[in-house]
């Protein structure tokens, strides 16, 4: 059996027995694919039923006398629509514990014939997941799990960043969408939330002001491009956070193949298999039932010799069960470690680009941010184009520079290079003041002049001077030793930006 999808969540209830029965009926109604009413899965210890088109439903109710805990396992089997040598199985475990109710859903696929050949895979989240999320109040470690996306208005940004994104106990990733410049969103938040039901929380920032405030709340390095998206893994913002919280630009979202929602679903479904363990309370209840049945059998044996023999066998069974439990725990721990490595690997640029089939430019965009000035100098060719050029002075400054944050400067340079491409594509006609256009469209804090500076410089052997008075304010209102600037000229005649200074404020 090859598991392909897993999710788990808790269901709120005041009357646990009544809620357990309601969930059982909902799951049975989903799994039954035949005529008439679904089988009553609470009246029998277990059973099977065949529906239409080779769909088979099975169930098992696990309970022990004098215990309030109960577990219902419902499975749905059906053949693959394209390959008769494969069968799909969806298993839903509903656990009524002493203090609450939890649901675990897994999808697996296995062979029914020995045919060694490639098999196509079209995986969708099971319909039982949105049915349960819509019918009941579901959470994952106190964070609500929904089938719909949640808007984050400007007044809620700080609370959202601290109470959701930086919540240490959050189990599911959060996918956050940034507003595009136009009225139409880059991706439909509700369609994305439906696709990722049970795998991720989906949020969208409620407008330009919310996006600006969110950028301040999460920090410059964790911002979201306009019209783009970012995934914030569990553990975001904690001290030991070493994951790369991937982002997508607006173009990457629009050009994704397959579609953006399907691409993210594939990535998260693959990670979910090793990250969602079986509810440990199910094993506890199974062992309790085994002990109860042994006690019943031992009491039923009237012969002392038979009871002694049975007790000997029971003790050996207990020893083997304990050994098996230890192995199961070891496997669970290895699966947890494997899932952590897969999550980290999924967050790397190389895997990100391959998973989403991104074009080369976006693959570079997802590349690791340089952490030193020599690395910035080495990576400069990635930015240079006909639209974005640097003078020898600016190139030399990138080898060694007193500005203390090369990663931050690289991000601003990259943003200015993207703006230069846009500027050239528009034939240097932006329909607004350049500084305003760069601020509104490309999120750059650009000042049009500097009263203290003579901005003339020569470039490319021309006999006239360019003006480098426009500059990107990388930082402001700081000590002069930490106040970064990028001075550049907008060359309308050639449709390009010419950078002449990278470093501290002049």
- Residues 372, 374, 378, 384, Cα dihedral to 10°: 80
**C-beta of residue 487 within 8 angstroms of C-beta of residue 456:** no
Are 470 and 446 contacting, i.e. CB atoms less than 8 angstroms apart? yes
Residue 110 neighbours by CB under 8 Å, 6+ apart: 1, 2, 86, 87, 89
Cα separation, 188 vs 172, in Å, equals 20
Task: Quickly list H helices, 173-303.
Answer: 189-195, 208-218, 250-255, 260-275, 280-300
Q: Domain 141-366 carries which CATH code?
A: 3.40.30.10
| C-alpha span between 287 and 264 (Å, rounded) | 39
In degrees and rounded to multiples of 5, residue 369 shows phi and psi of -80, 130
SS3 399: coil
Could you give the 3-state DSSP secondary structure of residue 8? strand
107: preceding bond cis by omega (within 30 degrees): no
- Close Cβ partners of 59 (under 8 Å, ≥ 6 residues apart): 28, 31, 39, 41, 44, 46, 47, 48, 72, 73, 74, 75
Q: Quick check: pTM over 0.85?
A: no
Cα separation, 272 vs 211, whole angstroms? 29
Strands 101-111 and 86-96 turn out to be antiparallel
- How far is CA 457 from its chain centroid? 47
3-state secondary structure (DSSP) of residue 59 = strand
Give the orientation angle of helix 128-135 with respect to helix 16-31, to 10 degrees.
150
Query: Do 103 and 126 touch, CB atoms closer than 8 A?
Result: no
Q: Could you say which DSSP state residue 506 is in?
A: -
Distance CA(189)–CA(292), nearest Å, equals: 50
Q: Residue 498 and residue 478: Cα distance in Å, rounded?
A: 26
Round to whole Å and give the CA distance between 237 and 256. Answer: 28
CA 37/CA 421 separation, integer angstroms: 62
Residue 361's contacts (CB-CB under 8 Å, 6 or more residues apart) are none
The CA distance from 350 to 345, in Å, is 9
What is the number of alpha carbons within 13 Å of residue 399 lying toward its C-beta?
4
Task: Indicate the SS3 state at residue 479.
Answer: coil
> Alpha-carbon distance 425 to 496, whole Å?
10
CA–CA distances in Å: residue 489 to residues 381, 438, 497: 19, 13, 6
- Look at the alpha carbons of 233, 237, 243, 245 in this order and tell me if their dihedral is positive or negative: positive
8 A C-beta contact, residue 192 and residue 202: yes
Cis omega before residue 218 (within 30°)? no
Task: Please name every residue paired with 150 in a beta bridge, in sequence order, or none if there are none.
Answer: 203
Contact by Cβ (8 Å): 185, 208:
no
Q: Provide the residue ranges of all domains of the chain, joining segments of one domain with +.
A: 2-139, 141-366, 369-504
What's the burial of 259, exposed, middle or buried (CB within 10 Å: 0-12/13-18/19+)? Answer: middle
pLDDT in tens, the chain (506 residues): 788 999 999 999 999 999 999 999 999 999 999 999 999 999 888 899 999 989 999 999 988 887 888 999 999 999 988 888 899 999 999 999 888 999 999 999 988 888 776 666 788 899 999 999 999 999 998 789 999 999 999 999 999 999 999 999 899 999 999 988 655 567 899 999 999 999 999 999 988 888 888 988 998 778 888 888 999 999 998 877 878 888 888 878 888 888 999 999 999 998 898 888 877 777 777 676 766 676 666 677 666 666 676 677 777 777 777 777 677 666 666 665 665 565 555 555 444 444 434 343 443 443 457 778 998 888 888 788 888 999 888 999 998 899 988 888 988 898 898 888 888 888 888 888 888 888 878 878 888 776 566 667 778 776 456 676 788 888 776 678 888 999 998 888 889 999 989 998 87
Work out the angle at residue 367's Cα, subtended by the Cα atoms of residues 364 and 371, and round it to the nearest 5 degrees.
130
Q: Are 236 and 221 in contact (CB under 8 A)?
A: no
């Amino acid at each position: 059996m090859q598991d392909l999808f897993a999710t788990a969540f808790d269901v709120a209830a005041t009357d646990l027995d009544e809620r357990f029965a309601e969930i059982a009926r909902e799951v049975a109604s989903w799994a039954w694919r035949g005529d008439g009413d679904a089988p009553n899965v609470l009246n029998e210890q277990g059973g099977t039923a065949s529906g239409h088109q080779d769909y088979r439903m099975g169930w098992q109710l696990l309970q022990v006398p004098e215990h309030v805990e109960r577990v219902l396992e419902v499975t749905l089997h059906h053949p693959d629509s394209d390959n008769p040598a494969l069968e799909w199985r969806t298993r839903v475990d509903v656990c009524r514990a002493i203090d609450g109710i939890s649901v675990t859903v897994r999808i697996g696929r296995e062979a029914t014939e020995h045919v060694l050949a490639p098999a196509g895979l079209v995986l969708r989240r099971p319909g039982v997941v949105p049915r349960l999320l819509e019918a009941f109040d579901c959470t994952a470690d106190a964070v609500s799990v929904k089938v719909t996306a949640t808007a984050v208005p400007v007044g809620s940004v700080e609370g959202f960043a601290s109470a959701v994104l930086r919540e240490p106990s959050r189990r599911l990733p959060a996918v956050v969408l940034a507003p595009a410049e136009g009225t139409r969103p880059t991706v439909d938040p509700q369609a994305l939330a439906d696709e990722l039901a049970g795998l991720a929380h989906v949020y969208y920032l409620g407008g330009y002001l919310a996006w600006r405030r969110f950028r301040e709340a999460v920090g410059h390095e964790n911002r979201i491009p306009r019209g783009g998206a970012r995934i914030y893994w569990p553990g975001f913002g904690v001290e030991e956070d070493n994951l790369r919280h991937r982002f997508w630009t607006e173009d990457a979202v629009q050009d994704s193949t397959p579609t953006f929602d399907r691409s993210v679903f594939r990535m998260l479904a693959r990670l979910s298999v090793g990250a969602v363990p079986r509810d440990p309370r199910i094993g506890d209840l199974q062992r309790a039932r085994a002990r109860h049945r042994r006690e019943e059998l031992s009491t039923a044996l009237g012969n002392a010799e038979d009871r002694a023999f049975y007790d000997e066998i029971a003790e050996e069974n207990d020893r083997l069960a304990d050994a098996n439990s230890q192995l199961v725990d070891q496997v669970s721990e290895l699966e947890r470690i494997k899932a952590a490595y897969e999550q980290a690997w999924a967050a790397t640029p190389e895997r990100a680009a391959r998973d989403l089939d991104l074009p080369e430019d976006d693959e570079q965009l997802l590349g690791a941010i340089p952490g030193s000035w020599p690395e910035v100098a080495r990576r400069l060719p990635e930015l240079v184009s006909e639209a974005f050029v640097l003078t020898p002075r600016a190139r030399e400054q990138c080898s060694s520079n007193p500005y203390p944050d090369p990663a931050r400067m690289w991000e601003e340079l990259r943003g200015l290079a993207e703006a230069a491409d846009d500027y050239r594509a528009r034939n240097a006609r932006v329909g607004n003041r350049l500084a305003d256009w760069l601020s509104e469209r490309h999120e750059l804090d650009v000042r049009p002049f500097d009263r203290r500076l003579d901005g003339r410089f020569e470039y490319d052997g021309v006999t006239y001077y360019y003006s480098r008075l426009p500059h990107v304010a990388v930082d402001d209102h700081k000590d002069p030793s930490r106040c970064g600037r990028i001075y550049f000229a907008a060359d309308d005649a050639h449709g390009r930006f010419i950078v002449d200074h990278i470093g501290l404020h002049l």
